Copies of this chain bind each other. A is one copy, B any other.
């Protein structure tokens, strides 16, 4: 059976020593998050994930969710008790403002909790995770009345939330959306239509479910400019917050999926359901877009989370399984064979996963901190810089962390040999669960298009220019530091590849959009390798400093330096291959007639 231990030490090192959390004490909610408090909160977060959520991960996979004939959905055995424990701990409202009964702590901590919970039990973590997404939309776009009515019970976890976008005929292309919203005399709307792939759309964990639904008000313009956002509660809510009658929303069926069996993926039928407009009419997509950075970062973290838990289990197996002898001579001469971690190729797999995990965590926390700065800083310049960087890096993180997170899970499974293919071992579940993160919340191809088509050219490339300048400044600052040479030089080469690719796009994609779209996936991965390399260089910088302070007891920091060096030597050089693919252009692949495929 798989196990899980939350990487609290690594998170604390990243927050305190790499990202210098204490420098943000002036941000709302950060004053309370001293290093001691951080350690305590993360310790508690780890504990509930390890002890309550993780033991239910296999159960959830095996049992899945069951829809009853009346449209209600039963979650796997134990999920309800675990959910109660989760919300009793206050984890649902961690970063919600205190005026709506939340704890008002940094959003960054909610991202940490999301990582731990997703490692422990991804299907479970999605129930509170989707509530976070719905909360973010409500807090940003809801009226004061809507916030007062809906946010406190959602922050408390008594109610959960969902996002209803996809319909059978439209996923990526929301312009094709047909769900209707007919205005009623009381100012509300009657919503009619079918939504599919609605995660946590129906379940038995909470008293109520608040659906956020995209629909088209009667007479609205066609396409994406005629889409509005609505609140539609599963059970209607009186002005005093009490629950009244059942709304006309029904789970029509649940999907049988490759993974995340413990989360109900629902077809939701709206049959004249009561709904309330959020924000302005026909501006629903904008409302959605604003909150997408956070939702996409949440999915990026799921990629990391599956990689981390897969790593931990594969590592334990590699230390325990005896098979063959080390090429350099027996390491366990008295035993029947050596533990397989002595084999260089097993080690290579472990190192690749480890080198990804630690940098991915750093990147995700850095992005989360940017989100906090963007929302909480009183310095307009700092806000803009953070928002720019977050906007630029969000598609990179979503695309790259989920792609590589899945690859990590596959590598971890490989370490198990035949045992990795057996359900009982648990590692194949990580592969199946990780797979969805590459698809939902905008498939990774869409992330790549968002990066190249929107984020890169936005504001005349301001965000990208600033990011390149930031990395260049780091390189310049550290280039005289001999200890940093193994990090700075490869980073410089890789940044050069990224800049060359960016210039190629400017020169070749404007007049020929197929070149931009055709190169987008490689560009996203090239960008990701550089971003991971940059955070590795920052981690190395911090590790060198802390190692000096540690005076002798530096093994933990040495491991960081070795792992980072491995990244620089073995993984970062992929940038030149990506550059070659990009500059090869799209002509050949676009020239094949459809009928010749």
Contact = CB atoms under 8 A, between A and B. Distances in A.
A284 B324 CA distance: 19
Interface stretch (A41-49, A384-392, A564-572): A564-572
A436 B421 contact: yes
A213 to B, nearest CB: 17
A440 B336 CA distance: 23
A464 to B, nearest CB: 20
Residue with the highest number of chain B CB atoms closer than 10 Å, among A197, A445, A516, A521: A445
Contacts of A420: 439
B414 A344 contact: no
A521 B341 CA distance: 16
B590 A344 contact: yes
Contact of A347 (B424, B563, B590): B590
A283 interface: no
A592 B562 contact: yes
Interface stretch (A112-120, A166-174, A300-308): A166-174
A345 B518 contact: yes
Contacts of A155: none
A255 B520 contact: no
A422 B436 CA distance: 10
Contacts of A31: none
Interface in A125-178: 166, 169-173, 175-176
Interface of A is mostly: helix
B581 A566 contact: no
Given A173-B324, A569-B588, A435 B449 contact: no
Contacts of A555: 593, 595-596
A323 B563 contact: no
Given A173-B337, A520-B345, A431 B435 contact: yes
Contacts of A166: 418
A591 interface: yes
A194 to B, nearest CB: 14
A216 interface: no
A414 B436 contact: no
A257 interface: yes
A258 B425 CA distance: 11
Nearest to A168: B419
A574 interface: yes
Given A418-B166, A421-B436, A593-B555, A588 B566 contact: yes
Contacts of A328: 512-514
Each complex incorporates copies of this chain amounting to 2
Contacts of A577: 573-574, 576-577
A444 interface: yes
A351 interface: yes
A423 B256 contact: yes
A443 interface: yes
A90 B428 CA distance: 37
A517 interface: yes
A61 to B, nearest CB: 11
A354 interface: yes
Given A323-B173, A423-B257, A590-B347, A417 B443 contact: yes
A20 to B, nearest CB: 25
Contacts of A588: 562, 565-566, 569-570
Contacts of A257: 421-423, 428
A341 B422 CA distance: 36
A488 interface: no
Contact of A443 (B414, B513, B556, B596): B414
Contacts of A512: 328
Interface in A407-444: 410, 413-414, 417-418, 420-424, 428, 431-432, 435-436, 438-440, 443-444
A390 to B, nearest CB: 24
A172 B597 contact: no
B570 A171 contact: no
A290 interface: no
A176 B417 CA distance: 16
A448 interface: yes
Contacts of A584: 569-570, 573
Nearest to A256: B423
A517 B346 CA distance: 10
A315 interface: yes
Contacts of A424: 255-256
Contacts of A421: 255, 257-259, 435-436, 439
Interface string A341-355: 101111111110010
A580 interface: yes
A450 B444 CA distance: 36
A327 interface: yes
Contacts of A173: 322-324, 337
A323 B589 contact: no
A348 B588 CA distance: 10
Contacts of A597: 315, 341, 350, 354, 559
**9 interchain residue pairs of minimum CB distance:** A327-B513, A344-B518, A559-B596, A577-B577, A344-B517, A569-B584, A258-B428, A173-B323, A573-B580
20 contacts: A171-B417, A172-B323, A172-B417, A328-B512, A345-B449, A345-B518, A345-B520, A347-B589, A348-B518, A351-B592, A418-B440, A431-B435, A432-B432, A555-B596, A559-B593, A559-B597, A565-B588, A570-B581, A573-B580, A573-B584
